[in-house]
Structure formats: C-alpha cells, structure tokens
Amino acid sequence: MTGPDVELLPPGTPIDLGNCEREPIHVPGSIQPHGVLLAVTEPDLVVVQVSENLADLVGVAADDALGRQLPEVLGVVAAEAVARSASAFGDLRERNPVEMTLDVEGSPVPVDALLHRVAVGPAEEGSPPTALLVVELEPAYGPRPFSFPNTYQAVRGTLGELNRATSLQELYDITAQAVRELTGFDRVMVYRYDADHNGEVVAEAKAPGLNSFLGLHYPASDIPAQARALYEKNWIRLISDVDYRPVPLRPVLLPLTGQPLDLTLSALRSVSPIHVEYLQNMGVRASMSISLLRAERLWGLIACHHYSGPHAPPYATRAAAEFLGSTLSLRLVDRAEEDEVHRALRVRSTLAWLTAATLDEDRPLADTLLGAPSLLDLLPADGVVVHLQGHRGSRGVPLPDGAAEAIAAWAAGRREDVVATDSLPRSAPELRVPVGPACGVLVLPLPESQYVLWHRAEAVRTVDWGGDPHNKAIAAREGDRVRLSPRKSFARWRETVRDRSEPWTAQELAEVGELRTHLLEALYARSRSIVRAAETLQRSMLTDPPESPRLQVAVRYVPAAREAQVGGDWYDVFGQPDGSTVVVIGDVVGHDTEAAADMAQLRGLLRGIAYASADGPAAVLRRLDGAVAGLGLRTLATVLLARLIPDPAGGALLRWSSAGHLPPLVAQPREGVRTLTTARAELLLGVDPAVRRTESEALLEPGSTLLLYTDGLVERRDQVFDVGVQRLAGELAALRARPVEDLCDDVLDRMLPQGAEDDVALVAVRLRG
C-alpha cells in the first residue's frame, strides 16, 4: 500500500505517530458500529465472517450466523435481494445500495445493503482465485432523503453552477457550499495537495461562529502514503462518531486463507486510531472525506467536520456528495488540460521557431536564442545566459561577474542533461551566489563547456500551517513505553519560506530537454563534418527508452549508408502517469536538415500533446494534425502511435492509430506472427487537418513482442512493401525467442545484409510476462 520500499506492520501491532506510516489500515479487523458486516461465499451464500454486533441490527448472534446460509440470517426476501444484485455484471458498488426491509422479531427494519467483492486468493494450491461477497448493512432510520437512482436530481442545480463557473476558485467554493447544504456537516473544506502531498484549504463552508481554516496548510504526514492509496480506491469515507468503539470481526482471520479480510472498499471500515486521535484533538465528533482525483491519482479531498455530536448522513446523501466530488474532479481536469494545451502549444510554437532559426548558420547561435522570440519566451525566468561557440550573451536580470561560469561548471559536474534546482544556496552553498538574481537555476550543460542557463530570483513567501509542522508529535508515557501521539494545537502557525525560487515544473524540464536536443543538432551541424553530425545528431534526438518492470524495450536507428545526412525517421517511447506506455514510430517525407527539423518539431509536439492526456491514439493524432496546420508546419509524415495498457496478468491491451504508416507486427509466444492491419488506408500527417483518424486495438498475451519499423527496413527497388513486410514477419517468427536487443540486431542483419538504402528506425517491445 505504501510502495515497494515500505513494509507494512503485522496486523495488531501497537500504533503511534512513530510507525503509523506502516500501519496496515486496509485490514483493521474491525468496523465502525453504525452498521454490520457479513462476508459470504458464492454462490451458496454461506457466512464465513461477521461483525460481533450483528444481533443489534439483524437479531441473530454473530456466532449463530457463522456457517449458515444468508437466507437463514437475513430472511429469504432480503437474501434474494442481495443475490439478485450480486448476480449482475460489473462493479457491484455502482448499484449500491440495495434497499430492503428485514423482519426482526416481527418488526420491519429498513436497511441499506452495500455490496462489494474481495479477492481472497486460491483456496487450495493450484486452484483459481476466489472472492468473497461482502455485505454491509446500515439502518435506514426515517424516510430516505431521495432514492439513490435520483442522485443526479438531488445535485442538478449544483452541476449547473459548476458548469457556469469561470475560475477554479468558483469551482471550489460552489462545491464546498453544496456539500455542506447536502450533508449538514458543520464545516466542509476543499483541500488541494501540492507535489509533496502537503495540503492547503482552498475553499470552506462553515457554520456561523466557527473559526476559519481557509488558507491553512497541513503537512503530508497528516495523511500517510497508505491512506492516500486507500483514498484513490475508495472515494468516500464516513466516521459517524469519532468516539466509537471498534466492532471486531469474527473470526479474526478468514478460514479460507488464514489472513484478515481486506476492507479497502468497505464503507464501515474501522479507521486508524492515530487518525481518530487526530480528529479528537481538533474537537471533531464526526467526519467524512471525499476523494478528488486527477488521472486516477489523489489531487485533493473534500473534508467534512462535525463538532456538535455524531452525524451520520444516509447512504443516498453520501452518494450524492460523492457524485459532486467526481464532477468537481472532472471539471478540474478539464480546466487543467485546457490550460496545459494552450501553454504547450505556445511553448511548442516558440520551440519550433527557435529550432528552425538555429539552422541559419550565418547567425551566431547565441544571437538567435536571445532574439525575438527568445529563450525567456520558451521558459519564464528572471534572466538567461547563453555561452555557445565562443559567443556569450544574456537577457533579463544580469548575474554578478563570474556567477554564470561557476554555476555552469557546477552543473557540468553533475553529468546530467538537464540540471535544475529551486534552491541554489542549499544545492550548492559553496558557490555563494546571491539569491536576489539566482536562487533557482536551470542549466543545459553542452559539449566543450558550452551552456544555456536560466535563473530565477528568490520568491519569499509565507505559509500558514494548521499547527507547527515541525512539531507534529507529542510524547507521552504509557506503561513502560513512550508513545508519540498527534499534535493537539491546530492554531494558525505562520512560516516564512526563504532561499527558494518558483519551482521548475516537470513539463518545463521536459521542454528544455528537447531544446537541448535541438541545440546539439545545431552545434554538431556547425562544427563537425556532415557525416559525423548525421550519426551523432540522430542519437541525441532518439533517446534510450525508459526502464520498465513490465516491458523490455529495444530501439535502433540506422542511417542510410549512401547518404551523409540526418534523416526524418524517428521513434519515441515514454511512460504515462497512469502506468501505460506510449510507443511512436514516424518518418518525415524528405531528407537532410529540413526533414530533421520537421521530425524534431513533430516529435516534440506529439510528446506535449500525448503526455498525461486521457485521449486515445486517434484523438492524439487528430490534435497533432490540428497543431501542424495551426502552427504552419509545412511537413508530411507517416506516424504510428500506440499505447500499451498493462493488465495484472502480465499481458496488455494495445491501442493504436496510424497516419499512413506501415502495420505493426506482433510475435506471440506460441502462435506465430500477426500483422496488425487497420480497416482502411489512413492519410499521412499534414495532408488534411480535418481528417477523421481511426483507432484499433488488440490484446497481447504475456511474452508477446511488438515490432514497429520504418519503410527503410522493408522497401526495395525491386519489390513492393507487402513482400518486404511478409519477409520481415517471417524473420520475426524465426527470431522471436531471442532477447529483444539481440532480436533487433539480428533483424537488421537479415533484412539489410548490404546496409540500409534509406534510414531505418526500429522499436521492439516485449511483455515480460
């Protein structure tokens, strides 16, 4: 739950603030007492685990329920309702709750049944995985606020307000107020997390008389990593009474596995005693949290607090609040993606202009990069210094004499393509550079002591914390041991942050990394023979693929033997935040530096559009068509864009879209080689910005090898493409057992025994299985 390097504590280990980040909170072995829980087998519905408080709601003692079938415990009518809902396809939680009435000693008791399944592993060695049906029952006292299918009607007005909102702050404020009106909590806050998981209260709706938490920050340690992981899987969590006594499950361990029941998806899951103590220290009597997600990662929370006593909104109300949270998540993603697309297109346009301008060998590179537009249009900073080919220049706020050279030498010693820090006094105190002009620096070290250096001034800021973040724990003796408990003071604690500039974002680092590639191209083209430049430049533009525990990737680029020039063939492989992998192969029409410049622009544009985007390959190519037309890039190219989405079994779903490129090949572990053709021929990129791109998909089993290639591998003057592709498929079938690195080399040797007549790019991706 906390990552591969963190080992969780065994269940039952005493927990305090010193070890809570290792607490196995998904298997607490108990539930909250405002409902009951039964775990039953399927399809016979035999009860194998139950909460001790079963008799309080159902009228049957926990021990008496174990080993009996569900109709004997809940009654025939209620059990049939559970069975009907459980028999439907899909995620059971999407159909919760099952509204039903129990007959308890002749009295009707309305309840909401919440169903989900838990995988518990094989019952015996070699048998398939099994699952238990978990049935949670909550009493539905009084009239239900509205029927669950009418959740949308309950929040329809708020959805309209969210759609009309013109700023992020409006979105936050509308959601906080709506959730408070819907649920009745005394205080509702919207938290936003930064890159280090520190939280900030960005919106608040509260009862009159409560002090405000708006603008307060809370350290990442308040919500440990395993808790954040739970929030990403179970989007809502209610603690109706903070002072509750946990209700144990019987038996403690599942008879099937000897392990505790995983309550990750449980609505009644008992929470960490550290979290309970934290809430008690804040004076909170009841709480509810709703996850805000972006790309399936926790972006923030809607936190609800109640102070006057226990508070238990019925399930339908909670579901409506969760629906609001999901809607806010979608609107936040829409706004963020819209802003990022506009920013990325502006940056790509500047990068494309600068790249093209560097090809003018009659003008010094330094002058080109400091003209209009300049490097400060590419990357916002207070100043930039360039030292290229013996020319030095700067723009913006100047640095003290010798400071740029000292910083560049320090960066070169790091032996990284891009060196960035937002706190030079902490990263390199020995340089003693004043923080006024250069608290943060980003450096592109280049060959022969050349460099490009951006610098940002110190950005002094104040952060209001909810309590002292540097004194989060209170030590108290309990018997023979000292226990660390959460802080008791949450008063506003102001901290002034110094010696830091505005941070460099991951996207900015990626973009200047691409600029470095283009600068290497320009430098080599100007200072080396064209033959050496062709080989070195292509290597600098076509980087090594990322390492992946699921994939083995090998890439090759072979320049044409008869031409001393940079070609337009390229490949790209990069991971996405959601765990998928994007694989690209392309070929710009034409040769020489113009084709290389077009290739660099297309590669950069495609990366910017595809990275962290939820769009499928066809949609990405459509946006690339639009960008090529909108930016006036007069280029034609074939492109194949694929996305590998892993599955838990070691296989993957392959989705791809082609802009006139050759079909990919898949070597299966046992069943030969498939040629993945599309339903119709596709136009090249750059022909028609309005063309409708299509998308195809295929399931790849573990051990499969995907091969993408450019036409130089299969095209011959004396044969058509189809013959070359068939021959390549035959060679791949014969070589599929080879490691991917050897496979690429052997394919090139067999297909090109006399060398390449045209440039060749090749990508082989094997699912490790």
The string of pLDDT tens digits covering residues 119-137 is: 887 655 656 668 899 999 9
The answer to which of 38-42, 91-95, 366-370, 665-669 has the lowest mean pLDDT is: 91-95
Contacts of 589 (CB under 8 A, 6+ apart): 568, 595, 635, 636, 637, 684
Select the more confidently predicted residue: 220 or 509. 509
Q: Using omega within 30 degrees of 0 as the cis cutoff, is the peptide bond preceding 251 cis?
A: yes
The two three-digit tokens of residue 496, written as one number: 């002034």
Distance CA 185, CA 657 (A): 49
pTM: 0.54
The string of pLDDT tens digits covering residues 237-294 is: 999 999 999 999 999 999 888 899 999 999 999 998 888 888 888 889 999 999 888 8
> Which pLDDT value is given to residue 44?
92
Average pLDDT rounded to a whole number, residues 24-44 = 92
Q: pLDDT > 90: what percent of the chain?
A: 45
Confidence of residue 350 (pLDDT cuts 50, 70, 90): confident
The two three-digit tokens of residue 761, written as one number: 């790019």
Select the more confidently predicted residue: 152 or 422. 422
Helix/strand/coil for 285 = coil
Distance CA 405, CA 338 (A): 39
Which helix (H) or strand (E) segment is 83 a member of? helix 76-87
CB 266 within 8 A of CB 136: yes
Confidence of residue 592 (pLDDT cuts 50, 70, 90): low
749 pLDDT above the threshold of 90? yes
Strands 581-588 and 569-575, sheet pairing: antiparallel
The string of pLDDT tens digits covering residues 436-485 is: 888 999 999 998 889 999 999 988 765 555 555 555 444 343 444 433 33
Distance CA 203, CA 325 (A): 13
The two three-digit tokens of residue 766, written as one number: 């094997």
The string of pLDDT tens digits covering residues 649-675 is: 889 999 999 999 999 999 998 878 999
For residue 198, give the DSSP letter: -
- CA distances to 590, 637, 758 from 711, rounded to whole Å, are 13, 12, 8
533 pLDDT above the threshold of 80? no
- Backbone dihedral region of 12: left (phi > 0), alpha (psi from -120 to 50 degrees) or beta? left
Distance CA 385, CA 379 (A): 13
Distance CA 440, CA 455 (A): 6
> Which pLDDT value is given to residue 309?
93
398 pLDDT above the threshold of 70? yes
Q: How many helices (DSSP H) and strands (DSSP E) are in the chain?
A: 20, 32
Q: Is 80 exposed, middle or buried (0-12, 13-18, 19+ CB in 10 A)?
A: middle
Query: Phi and psi (nearest 5°) for 393?
Result: -155, 165
Average pLDDT rounded to a whole number, residues 350-364 = 77
431 pLDDT above the threshold of 50? yes
- CA distances to 9, 229, 277, 409, 474 from 480, rounded to whole Å, are 21, 34, 21, 55, 17
Confidence of residue 529 (pLDDT cuts 50, 70, 90): very low
β-bridge mates for residue 303, sequence order: 189, 289
> Which pLDDT value is given to residue 4?
39
Q: pLDDT > 70: what percent of the chain?
A: 84
Confidence of residue 15 (pLDDT cuts 50, 70, 90): low
Amino acid at 523: L
Q: Which residue has the tokens 């609040």?
A: 321
> Which pLDDT value is given to residue 478?
40
